[in-house]
Amino acid sequence: MSTLAKSGILSLEPIYSYIGRYRFALLLSLFFGVLIYSLGHGAVTISAVEIFAIIAQSLGFDLGLEYPPQYEVILYSIRFPRILLAVLVGASLSVAGASLQALFRNPLADPGLIGVSSGAAVAAAATIVLGNLLFGGLPTEVRPFLLPLSAFAGGLITSLIIYRIGCINGKTYVATMLLAGIAINAITSAMIGLLLFLSNDQQLRDITFWMMGSLSRNTLSGVLPTLPFFLVPLIALPTLAKQLNIMALGEATAGNLGLNTEAVKLSVILFSSLAVGASVALTGIIAFVGLVVPHLTRFIMGPDNRSLLPSSMIIGATLLLIADALARTLVTPAELPIGIITSCIGGPFFLWLLVKKRDLMVQS
């Protein structure tokens, strides 16, 4: 095969894209498998058939299958909002991470590491503690949007700062970018400390639990208003895939190829801040998803953003569903914050990545 490829008679590309499609289908079926499993498992186990029957029932089809009536309540008011959120947050953090990595031209650009998540978290914590003070005059219909909006603004501001500091003349200074991320994380944790100092007991509990990252305590009516904040970047970022591929050549060459690099940069920063902001507003900081998932996906699908970005979403959603299932079941009847699980997996993964990179550098 390789000799044929070398002679130019047989290009490997069609085979790759065939395998690529096949892999994508595999990823999708894995996702749906985990989805059904997550819907069915928890304090009460509901079988896949019963889930199917309940959904069919509510769509108006009676399949004649028996199930306890409280299952419907469990499914719709407890499991469903939580799983919807896990899928949205997993997909959003992953696609934001993959896009930021393409923009910064570096695989270490993770929304958590470079401070975008904590920027969003400060703004959200400020809204929790000082919301009544600052926005007390606003009508109640607007209030569900305040948290995601302020988290988005916080994420956007930190992204712009990081980009300003880490990139000069289209060249990313990785060490500078990561150190700036450390500085921003330090500043934000001081600000969050200050906010904790100002908050009352209930707010203190709220913020602490939320900072560790949690999918619980969200109802469908809490999630639905934030849906556009998730859907806009989930749809918009993959449309930038081709442009992000060309950014891999460097900003100068991308510009010489007719790409409007400024517009691409601005859109990616805007949409990824939106994705991270919405996630942080609802679930707190879930670390390492934006780093681990794009890496894993690049390993399976290759570097082409046209397949990388959608596949990252699927893998991110699947992994977060698994992490959530672990969070719910490891210490039943209590529940672990999901951020602890992702950090437990992501931290070692990050170390492994650093060692691998170091070895590569030593070799060359």
Residue 273 contacts residue 152 (beta carbons within 8 Å):
yes
The site for another protein, by CB under 8 A, has a size of 29
Query: Cα-flanking dihedrals φ and ψ of residue 168, to 5°?
Result: -130, 130
When binding is defined by CB under 8 A, the residue of 107, 213, 233, 346 that contacts another protein is 107
- As a whole number of angstroms, the distance between CA 161 and CA 220 comes to 34
Residue 219 binds to another protein (criterion: CB under 8 A): no
Looking at residue 257, what DSSP letter applies?
T
- Minimum CB separation from another protein for residue 6, in Å? 6
Inter-residue long-range contacts of 42-51, CB under 8 Å, 24+ positions, other chains counted:
42/74, 42/78, 42/79, 42/328, 42/329, 43/332, 43/333, 44/71, 44/74, 46/71, 46/74, 46/75, 51/75
Residue 106 binds to another protein (criterion: CB under 8 A): yes
Residue 266 binds to another protein (criterion: CB under 8 A): no
When binding is defined by CB under 8 A, the residue of 24, 220, 302, 353 that contacts another protein is 302
When binding is defined by CB under 8 A, the residue of 222, 245, 322, 335 that contacts another protein is 245
**Toward another protein, which CB reaches closer, 30 or 263?**
263
CA atoms within 13 A on the CB side of 174: 8
Map the footprint of another protein across residues 174-213, applying CB under 8 A.
none
Residue 17 binds to another protein (criterion: CB under 8 A): no
**Toward another protein, which CB reaches closer, 197 or 299?**
299
When binding is defined by CB under 8 A, the residue of 131, 222, 225, 255 that contacts another protein is 255
Residue 324 contacts residue 86 (beta carbons within 8 Å):
yes
In angstroms, how far is CA 348 from the centroid of its own chain? Answer: 19
**Toward another protein, which CB reaches closer, 219 or 260?**
260
Give the interface segment with another protein, choosing from 4-12, 63-71, 122-130, 178-186 (CB under 8 A): 4-12
Residue 295 binds to another protein (criterion: CB under 8 A): no
**Toward another protein, which CB reaches closer, 136 or 258?**
258
When binding is defined by CB under 8 A, the residue of 58, 219, 221, 256 that contacts another protein is 256
Q: Compute CA distances 358 → 180, 205, 221, 247, whole Å.
A: 21, 41, 47, 25
Orientation of helix 338-363 relative to helix 289-301, angle to 10°: 50
Q: Which helix (H) or strand (E) holds 168?
A: strand 167-168
When binding is defined by CB under 8 A, the residue of 60, 69, 136, 258 that contacts another protein is 258
Coil, helix or strand for 48?
A: helix
Residue 144 binds to another protein (criterion: CB under 8 A): no
Residue 128 contacts residue 207 (beta carbons within 8 Å):
yes
- Minimum CB separation from another protein for residue 254, in Å? 9
What DSSP letter does each residue of 225-240 carry, written as one string? GGHHHHHHHHHHHHHT
- As a whole number of angstroms, the distance between CA 92 and CA 153 comes to 16
Residue 105 binds to another protein (criterion: CB under 8 A): yes
Place of tokens 């994420």: 155
When binding is defined by CB under 8 A, the residue of 33, 68, 193, 303 that contacts another protein is 303
Coil, helix or strand for 179?
A: helix
Residue 4 binds to another protein (criterion: CB under 8 A): no
CA dihedral sign, ordered 69, 70, 71, 74:
positive
When binding is defined by CB under 8 A, the residue of 298, 312, 317, 323 that contacts another protein is 298
Give the interface segment with another protein, choosing from 7-15, 85-93, 128-136, 284-292 (CB under 8 A): 7-15
When binding is defined by CB under 8 A, the residue of 215, 246, 274, 286 that contacts another protein is 246
**Toward another protein, which CB reaches closer, 5 or 235?**
5
Binding residues (CB under 8 A) for another protein: these are: 5-8, 11-13, 102, 105-107, 242, 245-246, 248-250, 252-253, 255-260, 298, 302-304
